[in-house]
Amino acid sequence: MPKERDSPMHIVRDMLVAQLDKSVAALQGRGARDPVIHDVRTELKRARASLRLMRKCIGARAYHRE
């Protein structure tokens, strides 16, 4: 039986948090210059795409909550 932290929802959440943390760190570390903002927007697009790919796996309720 899988542990609670190994559930698809927790795996997706951990992945999304890591992607968002990367974006926040980029803004804090290098300032808000155009190339940094571009990289952050690209990372946010990746996070949204990852969430959309997992939509059926995690269920509609969890998808909308995340």
pTM, rounded to two decimals: 0.61
Neighbours of 43 (CB within 10 A): 17
pLDDT tens sequence across 17-42 = 888 888 888 778 666 678 888 888 88
Q: What secondary structure letter does DSSP report for 32?
A: S
Measured distance between the N- and C-terminal CA atoms of the chain, rounded to whole angstroms? 25
User: 3-state DSSP call for residue 10?
Assistant: helix
Alpha-helical regions (H) of the chain: 8-30, 34-53, 55-58, 60-65
What's the token pair of residue 62?
A: 């969890």
